[in-house]
Structure 1
Amino acid sequence: MALEKTRRKVKLGRYMQALRKDTVPVLRPEDIAPQFRIAATTITRMEGGLTLPGFTLLQALLGLYGVTDKQRAEATRLWEHAKQGSTSVENVTDLPTKYRAFRHDESDAVLERALDVVAVPGLLQTARYAETIGEATRRHHRPEGWDLRAAAERQTRQRLLEGTNPLRLYAIMDEAVIRRVIGSPEIMAEQLEYLLTAGARRNVTVQVVPFGVGAYGTMSGPMIVLSFEDDPDLAYLEYAAGGETVENAKDVQAFVETFEEVRRKVALSPKESAELIRAALDGLRNDDREHGMA
């Protein structure tokens, strides 16, 4: 089974590492391993958030570290939290490790802010649009058939926007995103129709940054900020060959402030954005009819 780093396992791992390093003398993983007949990598992987220890091993380690009752209770709480968050995420087996970790984080989030200057944000991509994007990026070390799996992955992500307690999404995209025809006029028209449908949901806000505003916010690539009920925000920055999670509070706050400035002061209102998307959709349909008559 592939090792997967998740936010909840990382929190437990960091806490356990701090407890280990607080021992006198400091216990090293290679000092601990023989006592429990395990490999030293079992400790390092657990502390790195890659694996979740069994409850018995967790309690044994806490006993070895000589923790207080309060520390034991906190470690147990973090372990239970991590175990509850171990639900598998579909259609990500062949995708980069850091992206799989992001998907786990996204499934825990209550609010997502997504800003993209080149493509429709992932949560709002139709299957055929996503498949076309996947085909175009295959050269970046993507496995055969990744484009098709990317389309399926987008559809499973969209379930987060459904149900009784759906994810709240603020999606901002550049006007170039709705003007660039991806795949074909038919595929692009389907995508624009979906943006209008999704934007009408109570938990989804879609906004467009018009060409006329010039430079704004972060124009170096897609940016996503996730917010949680009890944990600090984190940001995920995408680039051609993968992505990177940012957890430094100061950096994440800068991304939040950038996003909110674009949302409130630069982007069109949701109503104006819908009108622009509808105009782009009508333009595609008119061009299609004209070509059909030619």
Structure 2
Amino acid sequence: MALEKTRRKVKLGRYMLALRKAVDPPLRPEDIAPHVRIAATTITRMEGGLTQPGFTLLQALLGIYGVTEEQRTEAIRLWENAKQGSTSVEHAADLPNKYRAFRHDEADAALERTLEMTAIPGLLQTPRYAAAVGEASRRLHRTEGWERRAADERHSRQRLLDGEAPLHLHALIDEALIRRITGGREVMIEQLEHLLKVGRQRNVTIQVIPFSAGAYGNMSGPVTILSFPDGADPDLAYLEYAAGGETVENVRDVQAFVDTFEDASRHAALSATSSTRLIRAALDELRNDERAADLA
């Protein structure tokens, strides 16, 4: 099987390389290899992000490098993230290790592109809209207290859009999500008002894909693409489905999702300005329906 460099393995490799070079006097891979009974190339491949060491080898190297407990903890965290490989599964709001690995990637990202046809993207959801979506999928939640954890997790994610160096978000949203009255008219009015408000932020672009666009892009489920400030870090894609998800790191596969997103953005979606008009029109309709219901 061909060796494949991934972002998570690269981050682990760079960290382990820095730990090795910090040893005084400095150690070369060929100095270490006899002590752990491996080839020196195994260490160089690991440090280059091509391979990931087993946990026993990782612990042995950390022992040789004489690391602090803080350094050991960070190395193990990077190792666990890299261990997730190309596939991750998350169960609703349980926040397992694999989903946390994706969240670490998102926190490091400079740009997030998301294509949604099932629900308003999590970064743009109001609490009551999110609760309605969560309630609809309650049978997929397997632990007690998932509502609180989901709310905390979403709030934490949404803070990425604020601050001095905020995450840039480009969201493509199917018109069906604007029209579907999720949680009732009052909840949906609040959600559409929130979209209009957040859409005015300079780091947020919202485009609606209208019904008239017909079929477009990857209609089998949502996709989120992350890009990072370090040009050496390749993009990654996260695919969501019922009660789970999959992280894709293969460069060619990710590029296919990027191309699909860009095609949908240019040829299927309305401009940001026209999208704002559509959202405002849908909001006005809901408000009129609400007033009519109050008068009835």
Q: Quickly name the TM-score band, shorter chain normalised.
A: 0.7 to 0.9
Identity %: 60
Q: Which position in structure 2 is the counterpart of 1:277?
A: 279
Question: CA offsets, 1:138-161, max 9 Å, x none?
Answer: 211432231332223212111101
Residue number in structure 2 paired with 1:158:
158
Please tell me the residue identity of whatever aligns with 2:174: D
User: 1:121-270 counterparts in 2 under 5 A?
Assistant: 121-230=121-230, 231-270=233-272
How many Å apart are 1:14 and its aligned residue? 9.8
Distance 2:93 2:279 in 1: 34
Q: TM-score, normalised by structure 1?
A: 0.74
- Counterpart amino acid of 2:165? N
Q: Structure 1's 289 and 10: CA in aligned 2 closer, same or farther, altered over 3 A?
A: same
Amino acid in the other structure paired with 2:295: M
Q: Which moved more, 1:95-104 or 1:183-192?
A: 95-104
What are the Cα deviations for residues 242-269 of structure 1, in whole angstroms up to 9, with x where unaligned? 1110000000000000001111111000
Distance in 1 of aligned mates of 2:128 and 2:141:
21
| Letter aligned with residue 101 of structure 1 | A
Counterpart of 1:154, as a letter, is R
* Residue segments in structure 2 that go unaligned for 5+ positions in a row: 1-5, 17-28, 39-52, 68-73, 82-91
- In the alignment, which residue of structure 2 is the partner of 1:59? 65
Deviation at 1:293, TM superposition (A): 0.7
Is this contact kept in 1: 2:208–2:270, CA < 8 A? yes
Shift of 1:133: 1.1
- C-alpha offsets along residues 158-191 of structure 1, whole Å, 9 cap, x if unaligned? 1101011100110111000111111111111111
Contact 2:7 2:234 in 1 (8 A): no
Partner of 2:54: 44
Structure 1's unaligned 5+ residue stretches are 1-5, 29-42, 62-77, 86-91
Contact kept, 8 Å, 1:98 with 1:243, in 2: the verdict is no
Residues 155, 23 of structure 1: alpha-carbon distance in 2 compared, 3 angstrom cutoff: same
**Does the Cα contact within 8 Å between 1:110 and 1:168 map onto a contact in 2?**
yes
**Equivalenced residues, count:** 246
Could you report, residue by residue, the CA deviation over 1:40-96 in whole angstroms, capped at 9, with x for unpaired residues? xxx63488xxxx8699526269xxxxxxxxxxxxxxxx96x959x9xxxxxx98323
Please say if residues 131 and 147 of structure 1, whose CA atoms lie closer than 8 Å, have aligned partners that are also in contact.
yes
For CA contacts below 8 A with separation 6 or more, give which structure has more relative contact order. 2
Alpha-carbon distance change, 155 to 54 in structure 1, aligned in 2, over 3 angstroms: farther
Q: TM-score, normalising length from structure 2?
A: 0.73
Q: Map of 1:7-86 to 2, 5 A cutoff?
A: 8=8, 11-12=11-12, 27=37, 44-45=54-55, 56-57=62-63, 59=65
Corresponding position: 1:107 with 2:107: yes
In structure 2, the residue matched to 1:3 is none
Task: Confirm or deny: 8 A CA contact 2:109 2:226 kept in the other structure.
Answer: yes
Query: Does the CA contact (< 8 Å) of 1:128 and 1:151 recur in 2?
Result: no
The root-mean-square deviation of aligned C-alpha atoms, in Å, is: 3.5
